[in-house]
Structure 1
């Protein structure tokens, strides 16, 4: 790998085109290459047109942060050379510096992720999973890469993570120190609180593997030149931000990760049971969080450090130094320093186990656990060395004249995004006013339908016929039939499609030797004319919803025209609430469904990847030019945030920052839910009075998105003009020029 010198100016003709648009608006598309824009004539030879040359400046001193950031962004920052946007101002600045020194989008993404792991330890980092949607300008290809966390090879002989394994009931030291009285397959959660916030819910981290994979394909800057900003930040310290503080404690009325209101002056609990009758301990009671992020003077172990307090993480700096010098392989090495430290913390470090679940209170007055869950993982160091990121075919569809490339299964976000946009296109949503009652009725009804079907279909495609079933969901005929269900009266209950609607029945498949790219595996992809792949799961009532306010998103366009949209996560806020080697560790396996194996496409199994809502996307116009690079954090409603932003910017003509800042909606739990604390909340009453919703189907809840994006317009010469924007709900900003 080589670096590019500072101050370099490159003249290049840029056609940000992807191979093909046109045809069936719902079918996956390829697109034709756009031509070069020319000046009218050459004065020296009037018969010969002049081809304008785009000059790109590579100079770190030109990097500029978005005005008003963080928290005060009102207009996106403009630039004509390169742009980065993320959920942290320091991360975006680091990414712009990499681009301005001649790096590519993936080079910058590595630097951004490294800083996010320091400054947003509650959201992402080396202990989590990441997916990347990448546009390569040279080949005009869009490729999607999966670094989701996966389950370990050992399952303990149980159907899901919520059951007691032989290890849990062992009388052999050290496991005899665990809770006694259990029998095999008994519920751990009934004995030990919420298993989701424990080592048992940790998946094998995939973030570094997928970053390494894409860097090997498209990187220009050496791997070991991309980590120093993050290492310095971890060593010298970073401030407690208002958003990080709010993930731990509420000084004013706020919502927790499950969308439940938090009383002012109270701690944020790690979990809330589905009935709302019991809550987990305050996050600051978890030893690893408390030791670094909470106020040592608070005897109740509830309050975080004050906003602005400088926090240092020398252990994380040491781990990143190891990864900087040894590459991703140093992280996954079972004989190295990082993987064994993580395994030790997740297994013997979670002993002795003890009972945690408090006696149930009431929904209005839930009981609160006084201690934290300690349930050992079944993971081994071999699981680290065996992990591989994979490439998958993109999920593609044309909506409102734009061709959108997004993540396939096991992401359900791409399915919901294309599904709901397909319905809204059919219902002529553009004739309504943005965020009006009529608009919100269509948008939430579409989301309710899309999410009902994705729960029945999406999961890891290696284990069932997910892709074929998703193809049906996104077909024109199926979307026509579902759009007809949206009328002037809101659905009381949301139906799911089945075999009578042409959706194939669930069929388990053997994951052994599954080829994520079919015949194209291992090759550079020229997208065929029909590319659409993804997945879904069993019809389950969403008793415990996907969590809400989690994860982090990054959008980048480099000086060479490459574009990257990346969503990265440790799953719910603070993941498993466990830190090892300075790294916060994910709780991704809580995304599996608790059900009988073989009957649920998203059921727990060895070496399986649970489904996720994250779906970073890139949209192209009818001329095949990049128009929008975007994605979001925010748990289950992520695809709704993505849809909202696309509609606001591309259909309603709003500035990208305004579209991102706009009030949120979702229908992901079968309910029309609108963002609390915003003007949109008044529309709940209107949905009830105008469209027949009830208090059970239209509600206010906490919907904290974490959007970031870059829109691309084109000047008279056909050259790109970028607008970068980041959600004002988070600590982010765009940075570029």
Structure 2
């Protein structure tokens, strides 16, 4: 294995195909590997996945091991108390997708976050036991392994058990995140608490999680039953009683992941394989790619005024559609074919004016014949056989609800906020939703997660995805364009600075130095409201090249690429 970590914390400027590309400080490797690769949010978890590949495991085996390792090493988003999505492509080109998104408990109701006057009760869908949907991550890993796994289950969970019980060395960023969340941990966990340290955490400290390790041992030994039945189910139910939450042992026992047909489409000579609803990401990504396909992005240049304007106007319209038409397909008939119809997408761009920004209040969800009204983490893996996996999982907010299951040592999600608590009222990410995403018992909440696999000439080309709430879709979209249109290698495509627009609020969010002064001035003159943002997304991706697999590990976090 070749693995380098070169630490240099400064902005560098690269000249790529004749125009300037601004990227984050490069602290990642850009080596090529022939036998497989893992790119994920934490170095210890990446190493766990790589060791599985070296022992003959396939991409799904490595994904299972990485998922549980991230539950230990990346508590901000790695989890056994949340859920997510998987897109899979076999070495022979067969594709599949697994929905292990959280579900609303059976006693959930459409107005459960509203007071008697119909007003949203602040914080109820985010910072309480009632914010949690039924977790799907453990069932998802069991289901994926049962269908595609090669190595024994216990062998894949054991590394996470070891990391929890023996401890691991934390990074500066994890120490900072833990210290920042400490006050809320104390406030929301009066019975039993975890992830706290007197005097605060520091870079290099060893984090041991005994109760989480014991929970993982039950999952190792009993599989699905180790989490959804017995001791852990009882602990979850007891925790819910403490905080007037809704999840019951019956809810846990009845939870099951669902295999779904992936959304597929094309962009020029590339085939896009991505996640269907209840993720909004796949449909939105294909809409965006088709909306910009005919324009000469390469000639205009990376993050230049015409490029940014076109992408923003496409994003504006796609997020408007998202607000009305997307939800759980088991409860709501999502008009997939209509949304992805090329004529429909082109019609949505007809009122786009190069001379001025289109105000979002003048853009509404589109219409078509036949419609019936009614902190996340990502990892990409490829094995020596050529099987590929893109998985995005989440707790929603960083550390989820910041509420632990006492005695079990893991965090509960606050995914219920991803439902439309009230049609037209934004969630924590500012996203607007409607009846399609209303709360119903047993329903999966809408997501922006966009795990994606791309083919070229019938062969694997790219694996990509990211965390980032509402910015997930645009981060994946821009990363793909960075490679296909702007000829960046995988690492620079991931590191390049990003911008985001989501219809409402009507602002263009930009990372620092994402736009040069000239571009910013031209866009503002046309009426675009531009505001600064922190980091947008944390993309982890793999590119297949003639030289081998090339990883892109986002320098915005502790993300790491390892291969062999």
Shared fold, TM over 0.5: yes
Q: How does 1:68-107 map to 2 (within 5 A)?
A: 68=6, 72-107=26-61
Match of 1:13 in 2: none
- Pair 650,69 (structure 1): closer, same or farther in 2 beyond 3 Å: farther
1:555·1:630 contact (CA, 8 Å) conserved in 2?
Answer: yes
1:340 to 222, 234, 239: 234
1:295·1:306 contact (CA, 8 Å) conserved in 2?
Answer: no
2:377·2:394 contact (CA, 8 Å) conserved in 1?
Answer: yes
Are 1:310 and 2:206 matched, yes or no? yes
1:708·1:725 contact (CA, 8 Å) conserved in 2?
Answer: yes
Q: How does 1:99-248 map to 2 (within 5 A)?
A: 99-138=53-92, 140-155=93-108, 158-163=109-114, 189=121, 193-247=123-177
1:639, CA displacement in angstroms? 0.9
Are 1:287 and 2:287 matched, yes or no? no
User: Which of 1 and 2 has greater Rg?
Assistant: 1
CA distance in 1 between partners of 2:518 and 2:439 (Å): 39
Deviations 1:331-354 (A, max 9, x none): 111xx111111121122x22xxxx
Are 1:666 and 2:500 matched, yes or no? yes
1:325, CA displacement in angstroms? 0.9
1:77·1:734 contact (CA, 8 Å) conserved in 2?
Answer: no
- Pair 247,284 (structure 1): closer, same or farther in 2 beyond 3 Å: farther
CA distance in 2 between partners of 1:185 and 1:159 (Å): 14
Q: How does 1:258-407 map to 2 (within 5 A)?
A: 282=184, 285-287=187-189, 291-297=193-199, 304-333=200-229, 336-347=230-241, 349-350=242-243, 376-407=244-275
- Pair 690,633 (structure 1): closer, same or farther in 2 beyond 3 Å: same
Query: Tell me, what secondary structure is at the counterpart of 1:636?
Result: helix
Query: Tell me, what secondary structure is at the counterpart of 1:417?
Result: helix
CA distance in 2 between partners of 1:206 and 1:69 (Å): 36
Query: Tell me, what secondary structure is at the counterpart of 2:556?
Result: coil
CA distance in 2 between partners of 1:160 and 1:432 (Å): 48
1:194, CA displacement in angstroms? 4.2
1:454 to 304, 308, 322: 322
- Pair 77,286 (structure 1): closer, same or farther in 2 beyond 3 Å: farther
| Runs of 5+ consecutive residues of structure 1 not aligned to the other structure | 1-62, 165-183, 250-266, 270-280, 298-303, 351-375, 508-549, 716-720
2:212·2:409 contact (CA, 8 Å) conserved in 1?
Answer: yes
Match of 1:427 in 2: 295
Query: Tell me, what secondary structure is at the counterpart of 1:553?
Result: strand
Deviations 1:228-271 (A, max 9, x none): 2211111122334333344456xxxxxxxxxxxxxxxxx579xx
2:498·2:514 contact (CA, 8 Å) conserved in 1?
Answer: no
Are 1:473 and 2:473 matched, yes or no? no
Match of 1:492 in 2: 359
CA distance in 2 between partners of 1:145 and 1:345 (Å): 28
Query: Tell me, what secondary structure is at the counterpart of 2:469?
Result: coil
Match of 1:172 in 2: none
Deviations 1:416-446 (A, max 9, x none): 2111111111333232111122211111221
Match of 1:592 in 2: 419
2:280·2:446 contact (CA, 8 Å) conserved in 1?
Answer: yes
Are 1:722 and 2:556 matched, yes or no? no
1:492, CA displacement in angstroms? 1.4
- How many residue pairs are counted as aligned between the two chains? 535
2:544 to 696, 705, 712: 712
CA distance in 2 between partners of 1:240 and 1:159 (Å): 41
Are 1:613 and 2:440 matched, yes or no? no
1:187, CA displacement in angstroms? 5.5
Match of 1:411 in 2: 279
Kindly report the root-mean-square deviation, in angstroms, between the aligned alpha carbons of the 2 structures.
2.5
1:106, CA displacement in angstroms? 0.7
1:669, CA displacement in angstroms? 4.4
1:472, CA displacement in angstroms? 1.2
1:588·1:610 contact (CA, 8 Å) conserved in 2?
Answer: yes
CA distance in 1 between partners of 2:332 and 2:543 (Å): 37
2:499·2:514 contact (CA, 8 Å) conserved in 1?
Answer: no
1:213, CA displacement in angstroms? 1.2
1:592·1:610 contact (CA, 8 Å) conserved in 2?
Answer: yes
2:323·2:434 contact (CA, 8 Å) conserved in 1?
Answer: no
- Pair 687,593 (structure 1): closer, same or farther in 2 beyond 3 Å: farther
- Pair 247,587 (structure 1): closer, same or farther in 2 beyond 3 Å: same
1:133·1:143 contact (CA, 8 Å) conserved in 2?
Answer: yes
2:418·2:445 contact (CA, 8 Å) conserved in 1?
Answer: yes
Query: Tell me, what secondary structure is at the counterpart of 1:728?
Result: coil
- Pair 285,241 (structure 1): closer, same or farther in 2 beyond 3 Å: farther
Q: How does 1:17-96 map to 2 (within 5 A)?
A: 63-68=1-6, 72-96=26-50
2:41·2:559 contact (CA, 8 Å) conserved in 1?
Answer: yes
Bigger shift: residues 223-232 or 625-634:
223-232
CA distance in 2 between partners of 1:645 and 1:691 (Å): 26
- Pair 457,556 (structure 1): closer, same or farther in 2 beyond 3 Å: same
- Pair 682,88 (structure 1): closer, same or farther in 2 beyond 3 Å: farther
1:554, CA displacement in angstroms? 0.7
CA distance in 2 between partners of 1:229 and 1:282 (Å): 29
Match of 1:655 in 2: 489
Match of 1:628 in 2: 462
Q: TM-score, normalised by structure 2?
A: 0.89
2:398 to 554, 573, 579: 573
CA distance in 2 between partners of 1:599 and 1:560 (Å): 43
Q: Relative to total residues, which structure has the larger helix share, 1 or 2?
A: 2
- Pair 72,431 (structure 1): closer, same or farther in 2 beyond 3 Å: closer
CA distance in 2 between partners of 1:633 and 1:596 (Å): 25
CA distance in 1 between partners of 2:130 and 2:518 (Å): 41
CA distance in 2 between partners of 1:69 and 1:503 (Å): 56
CA distance in 2 between partners of 1:160 and 1:244 (Å): 36
2:28·2:561 contact (CA, 8 Å) conserved in 1?
Answer: no
Deviations 1:11-63 (A, max 9, x none): xxxxxxxxxxxxxxxxxxxxxxxxxxxxxxxxxxxxxxxxxxxxxxxxxxxx3
CA distance in 2 between partners of 1:284 and 1:658 (Å): 40
CA distance in 1 between partners of 2:72 and 2:86 (Å): 20
1:159, CA displacement in angstroms? 2.0
1:464·1:506 contact (CA, 8 Å) conserved in 2?
Answer: no
1:498, CA displacement in angstroms? 3.8
Deviations 1:682-720 (A, max 9, x none): 577425444332xxx3222224311111101236xxxxx
